[in-house]
Structure 1
């Protein structure tokens, strides 16, 4: 990915970045989170715990700042994400925050994320 594509993607609205996330996650069969002696989290306005996820290492590294200063990108295999992470997050009431930037994030429920990833993976 060149710098022009990178900048174009991060300027997109959250819904478009979510679509990009689904496509790239299925393409490369990996998800990226931020880790530093534990996974990075955030909270929404209602106090729900959110876990941020990114489509690749460069995006994750770019947004490892502010409350996530000192966190590093960490890869999660897509199969493990689908089979372990998402069911665990659902049972714990944790919501995925997809591709957060300085301005916004796609807040998606676990079931929708699982369905969208499964639908994209069927195309392969």
Structure 2
């Protein structure tokens, strides 16, 4: 994907990036997160309301672009089956939401792990 195409997608609003994320993940079957050198995932706590969330991206390129300038963060793929089987229950248990596809603006689609799983499964079943 060209830098121009990446930028156009990043400039979508939160809902547009969410829709793009769902389509891309269903196609590629991977969800991308950022991890540090100790393989601990990036978790962000929103200043205004204290909501903790795991930021996720549809491709390695978007995760890399977000991590640019942040020392020690590298993209890591989570397969959709692993996300469904392990991550959804773990995030739910720990009270961590999912921040889907942070972009250039301040708007971010934050959803529960279960809701994201439901939306992905619904899109997969309609694709068949």
TM-score by length of 2: 0.89
Q: Quote the offset at 1:49 in angstroms.
A: 1.4
Q: Which SS does the other structure have where 2:34 is aligned?
A: strand
1:21 maps to: 21
Q: Does 1:107 align with 2:110?
A: yes
Q: Which SS does the other structure have where 2:67 is aligned?
A: coil
1:55 maps to: 58
Give the whole-Å Cα distance in 2 for the aligned partners of 1:30 and 1:12.
21
Q: Report the count of equivalent residues.
A: 123
- Aligned counterpart for 2:42 among listed residues 40, 43, 46: 40
Give the whole-Å Cα distance in 2 for the aligned partners of 1:6 and 1:93.
31
Q: What CA deviation, in whole Å up to 9, does each residue of 1:23-62 have, x standing for no partner?
A: 1001000000001121111012222211110000000000
1:5 maps to: 5
Q: Does 1:91 align with 2:99?
A: no
Give the whole-Å Cα distance in 1 for the aligned partners of 2:5 and 2:104.
18
1:31 maps to: 31
Q: Which SS does the other structure have where 1:12 is aligned?
A: coil
The answer to whether the 8 Å contact 2:11/2:104 transfers is no
TM-score by length of 1: 0.92
Which 4+ residue blocks in structure 1 deviate beyond 3 angstroms? Answer: none
Q: Quote the offset at 1:101 in angstroms.
A: 2.1
Unaligned runs of 5+ residues in structure 1 are none
